[in-house]
A and B are shown apart, each in its own frame.
Chain A
Amino acid sequence: MSTPIITEPTDPRVFHPEEEPHHPEGHSTPLGFWIYLMSDCLIFATLFGTFAVLGQRYGGGPGPKELFDLWLIALNTAMLLFSSITYGFAMLAMHRGDQKEVMKWLGITAGFGLAFLAIELYEFNHLIHIGAGPGRSAFLSAFFTLVGTHGLHVTFGLIWMAALVLQVRKHGLTSANQRRLECLSMFWHFLDVIWIGVFTFVYLMGMI
């Protein structure tokens, strides 16, 4: 019976760096947040795919031409587009270190965001009121899921914006707060990109 001979290496071999390489805090946040947005994009891809399959299944109920008012959708689109550029102005003010301007533009952005949500809720309420709720047909189920998910994202974006306004007011434009504002900027512009898909495929294509 032989025992395996274990030889201790004379020189301790190093398999990992002794010290973690030093990175500034938050240096990987832009890429990490971008990858989160891409995963969110896939959620919307599945919902768009569902809508593409079910969007013509009216089940004897009303179709887009009887339900949608394009003037209302154009107004809603304008609200979101205005909120995109006003958030951009908030970011420009942030790079200048002008806290007052940041608060002003964030407030205006939140106002446009709230207007968007109000118009969307008015539309949903109107549809449900005339008996075209999500239970009416497969088309309306897919419609409410897709547009509602986008609206929910906008809602959470607004909650996030309110939290950041309080943070900036309390702590000022610290590096952490700047990073948070940058992330919300990406989120907010990303929601506008999703809305392009919504008004094109759901509203405009349905009304042609």
Chain B
Amino acid sequence: MSDPHEGHHETHAAPFPHGTKQDYVTGFILAAVLTAIPFFLVMSGIFSSERLTAFLVLICAVAQIIVHMVYFLHMSPKAEGGWTLISLVFTIIVLVIAVVGTVWVMYHMDANMMPGMMTEPPAN
């Protein structure tokens, strides 16, 4: 065990995955392009179809998240014997269940409980 107040330099203190300068620069350029595209699409309104614009913006966001994961967070299937990837996949599953489930349930609640349908139950 090394004393944390020891003044010596110890490289490889913990097995954190490293990136090279090339990684960071590549990641930055990709991220900048993937940020600029959706902002341009929305601000210029180049496509008249809202659905198409939303779809392309979504694709850019997913691509940019992957770029950040790989080039900035140094994710790889081999890091930590695969445990970081497994915990990420688990989180994504929980996330999708929570978000999609919420939107789904609340949409139906909304559609089936409009003010017009709130009638008094018949008095017997």
Contact = CB atoms under 8 A, between A and B. Distances in A.
A74 B73 contact: no
Most-contacted residue by chain B among A25, A30, A173, A196 (CB, 10 A)? A196
B98 A42 contact: yes
Interface string B11-44: 1011111111100110110011001001100110
A27 interface: yes
A38 B69 CA distance: 13
Most-contacted residue by chain A among B21, B50, B65, B69 (CB, 10 A)? B65
Interface residues of B, number: 58
A193 B35 contact: no
B61 A25 contact: no
Nearest to B61: A200
Report, nearest first, the 3 A-B pairs whose CB atoms are least far apart: A175-B13, A176-B4, A88-B24
B28 A84 contact: yes
B103 A53 contact: yes
B14 A29 contact: yes
B68 to A, nearest CB: 5
B53 A189 contact: no
Given A173-B9, A186-B73, A205-B54, A25 B65 contact: no
Interface stretch (A91-99, A117-125, A145-153): A91-99
Interface string A41-62: 1100110111011000000000
Interface string B76-99: 000110011001101100110011
Interface of A: 24-27, 29-31, 34-35, 38, 41-42, 45-46, 48-50, 52-53, 70, 73-74, 77-78, 81, 84-85, 88-89, 91-92, 95, 97, 171-179, 182, 186, 189-190, 192-193, 196-197, 199-200, 204-205, 207-208
12 contacts: A26-B13, A26-B14, A42-B98, A45-B95, A48-B99, A77-B39, A92-B21, A97-B11, A172-B9, A196-B65, A200-B38, A200-B60
B7 A53 contact: no
A74 B69 CA distance: 21
Nearest to B64: A196
B103 A49 contact: yes
Nearest to B101: A49
A208 B50 contact: yes
A45 B27 CA distance: 25
Nearest to A77: B35
- Per DSSP, are chain A's interface residues mostly helix, strand or loop, or mixed? helix
A30 B69 contact: no
B42 A27 contact: no
B11 A204 contact: no
A25 B1 CA distance: 6
Given A45-B95, A84-B72, A171 B5 contact: yes
A30 B19 contact: no
